[in-house]
Chain A
């Protein structure tokens, strides 16, 4: 067989692998409902902070534990547990994107993305990202 055929076959195989792994590894935008149906799968949930519910962060007890309540786009409220510190000004965020999966009744978030309103409402909000650390 010609070398170029072998190369072509390898290339196609790798390309298919790349495509499949991208789809397989990507989290899905979802609501809490969908995340609860499938607690094994990781999801990305977009929502807003529950009005009137306190954010719980006690660094003197545990600097790496932060809990809050989030309302998803369909209005369902869930507790979110984030293994990291509370981002500064989290209270002010307009919109929060959480990545992770359901763990019992609470959503276990590995990552938080928050959108803060700017002083003037011109749409140039900042987006900030916070990650819980890699497992060690």
Chain B
């Protein structure tokens, strides 16, 4: 029977599992009770009590899950798979938070935790909106808690249990050490991926997930608006949530970019990587949502666009979760999560919320129920694939369009088209540009999903189409084998730069436009200053940094205009009243981000050019790496660079690279030292991390791309045995031999007995790299055995021995050993100068501050109103 395992702390696992169940059931009960509170007006008060208590139970459960996982991590309970996978004894405790959310389960937990916390704020602040909004929050929590359940329904596993024991986990159950009863005595965890042992991993995920959580709340209000048929009233309370989400999610993305720039060797802060895109897209749509909501509120316009934007923002957050966590990105992203077998569940999560507006819209009577049941059947059918996925997708899209159209129809009467000179018209256009920009990024990032979707019947259709009109695009679709873009940076930039140009112009003009109508003269008068200064600055900067691409010059101009116009507005119109300054500050930040990005990326310079004399020809235009021998000094840009030393600390090797500048007196003065490192990462192989020197106007970014390796073993690399006849010539690597003849003195038997030897000398001409010399290795036959007198050509690195005489074949066996090239230590280095990158960071910070100011500004008057009533 089973083994009695010693020293396991199974009680914690049980506590954790009970807590997950508590969290799941609490959220479910809370959601149902809130639904009844809304639908059943008579008993609303008692349902509300139940719903709130259930939500508190959910919160307690969730906190207990978090607490249990921490206890397990703190105490190194390696009997648990999650602890074993993500921590070890050697690790410093400051990274325990990183261990917590390194795995998928932990990051879902973090997400659920923030939702839960923000849910309480909503519960306290929502008032008449509490039932509807909290019901939806509770539904989200049901889904997130289910990600941790790890129970099987038939063959389908729901969630992944973070409290499963190592020896119970299918992948590890057969590891030899878990068969021993006392396996825990010497067990150590696998540890946190060393790449993630830095402060970025401690701060980036919680901020990003707080941003994702915040993005839920505008959606929740929008859905509650549909549910309560109050299509306008939801906007007012949702606005501060929207700008909160914009600020925090923006901050999370910025931290991710900063992490990539500072600690990873991507060679930049943004690479259009699918995972980066997945977090950027919801931010863009949230920005659009915030602006359109302001408009809808101010002008009492049709709320359809606002509803759609808060809806799509949340759906895109779910979609990005699906992309990064289902393993579907597999071969296209550097940092996608591996598949935990939850892709079906994640997809269901996405589809249910994509369908939610229609459910809430139709939500009445028996008709609603029939629709709901048919829809559910279609969705589950869709998950099984085949033609059903097309039906399922069409069903959701159709339901959404139907819902939004029905709502929109109520606002068609009496609606006039906006004037071309009105603020609302251009704000709307700006939001559409943002939406299209988000669509472009999403669509291009989704090629693996498109492959999955069109494979089978749909690809067959394309194949048929391609048969009739053969084109390359149809060919690709028919094969359903779309890869990532050939050149992602170029592909995305070619779309996003024009979008950025339009957005920047609108950001600059926006605050000077009036609602309804703006006199053209007034607009020109107010923006002329900024236009002229922007033009002069653009010319100056373009000349200074030698900016030549026309698109980038236009973008520089428009983003400078956005900065200046908003600065103008901030100083002259709001007159420093900080309560009204939020939008201007955020817009200035936006303009600076664009300008900083285009200057630092557009004019980034590889100073580590290959300076060797080798003509590499036109075929090798990209020479970003430079070879540095230890102690050598090489010119790199305006610096002389020396690879001075290296030092080892644990699994990290730091390479000290000195940057020197020649002085007038001919001496070189060290300016600074960078220490890029190479990490022998047990999980990912060797990884390099850059080191960057920051200046006010530029950064010098350095990382090693390759290093010399000492290979253990013999000093002789290559040994070859030649069987030669007299007069033969053989050619080896870097040398040739010619056997001229054999000189031997053959003693008589008597002499042999007296101790004389047979000595044969091979007369060989060695040719190495053009030098010729004669050598005479010897073969000596004793009475007791064989001895050789070898020749060592030290300067040529050759060791030549005469090993054997084969009288039958008249052959002489000559062995040549070639000395391994004693390589000097070297590193291959890449160094990039990013000019003006600080403009980008300042812009990011200003935008976050501006969004924060907008939130505060919206909460305050609301409070006053509330207090007055």
Contact = CB atoms under 8 A, between A and B. Distances in A.
Contacts of A92: 685
A86 B439 contact: no
B476 interface: yes
B56 interface: no
Contact of B417 (A3, A18, A87, A119): A3
Interface string A96-108: 0101000000000
A65 B484 CA distance: 24
A84 B684 contact: no
A52 interface: no
Given A63-B706, A136-B622, A19 B443 contact: yes
Contact of A118 (B436, B440, B684): B684
Nearest to A118: B683
Given A22-B447, A126-B684, A128-B684, A27 B484 contact: yes
Contacts of A43: 483
Contacts of B483: 26-29, 43-44, 99
A36 interface: no
Given A18-B495, A24-B472, A85-B625, A63 B610 contact: yes
Contacts of A89: 685-686
A14 B190 contact: no
Q: Interface extent on A, as a size class?
A: 35 or more
B436 A22 contact: no
Contacts, number: 181
B706 A22 contact: no
Q: Interface extent on B, as a size class?
A: 35 or more
Given A18-B439, A44-B483, A59-B627, A135 B417 contact: no
Candidate in A41, A61, A62, A114 with the most chain B CB atoms within 10 angstroms: A62
B338 interface: yes
A124 B828 contact: no
B606 interface: yes
A116 B681 CA distance: 11
Nearest to B688: A88
Contact of B486 (A25, A60, A122, A136): A25
A29 B481 contact: yes
Contact of A127 (B334, B443, B485, B616): B334
A62 B331 CA distance: 29
Contact of B621 (A26, A59, A63, A136): A136
B706 A59 contact: yes
A23 B482 contact: yes
B348 interface: no
B89 to A, nearest CB: 16
A60 B682 CA distance: 28
A88 B429 contact: no
A126 B473 CA distance: 32
A67 interface: no
A29 B805 CA distance: 58
B335 to A, nearest CB: 8
A18 B440 CA distance: 6
B479 interface: yes
Contacts of B481: 28-30
A102 B686 CA distance: 29
Interface string A71-87: 00000000000011111
A64 B484 contact: no
B331 A97 contact: yes
B863 to A, nearest CB: 38
A116 B616 CA distance: 31
Nearest to B499: A14
Interface string B200-231: 00000000000000000000000000000000
A24 B472 CA distance: 8
B706 A134 contact: no
A19 B830 CA distance: 36
Contacts of A64: 610, 616, 620, 622-625
Nearest to B339: A123
Nearest to B103: A124
B706 A26 contact: no
B669 interface: no
Interface string B619-657: 011111111000000000000000000000000000000
B828 to A, nearest CB: 5
A136 B688 contact: no
Contacts of B479: 28
Contact of B705 (A4, A46, A62, A85): A85
Candidate in B487, B606, B684 with the most chain A CB atoms within 10 angstroms: B684
Contacts of B625: 59, 63-64, 84-85
B338 A26 contact: no
B828 A42 contact: no
Contacts of A65: 616, 620
Contacts of A114: 685
Contacts of B685: 88-89, 92-93, 114, 116, 126, 128
B489 interface: yes
B351 interface: no
A128 B334 contact: yes
B770 to A, nearest CB: 19
A12 to B, nearest CB: 11
Given A89-B686, A119-B190, A122-B85, A22 B622 contact: no
Contacts of B705: 84-85, 87
Interface in A1-54: 2-4, 7, 11, 14-15, 18-30, 41-44, 46
Nearest to B171: A122
B624 A25 contact: no
B122 interface: no
A26 B476 contact: yes
Candidate in A4, A18, A59 with the most chain B CB atoms within 10 angstroms: A59
B491 A119 contact: no
Contacts of A88: 678, 685-688, 706-707
A27 B331 contact: no
Interface in B412-454: 417-418, 420, 425, 429, 432, 436, 439-440, 443-444, 447
Contacts of A85: 625, 705-706, 828, 830
Interface in B149-191: 171-172, 190
Contacts of B334: 113, 127-129
B535 interface: no
Contacts of B830: 85
Nearest to A19: B443
Nearest to B708: A59
A6 B499 CA distance: 18
B66 interface: no
13 contacts: A3-B418, A21-B444, A21-B494, A21-B495, A22-B491, A24-B472, A27-B483, A57-B706, A63-B627, A84-B625, A88-B686, A113-B331, A127-B335
Interface of A: 2-4, 7, 11, 14-15, 18-30, 41-44, 46, 57, 59-65, 83-89, 92-93, 97, 99, 110, 113-114, 116, 118-120, 122-129, 131-136
Nearest 7 CB-CB pairs, A to B? A126-B684, A88-B686, A133-B622, A89-B685, A44-B483, A27-B483, A116-B685
Given A28-B479, A46-B331, A83-B622, 5 more contacts: A4-B417, A88-B678, A88-B686, A116-B683, A133-B622
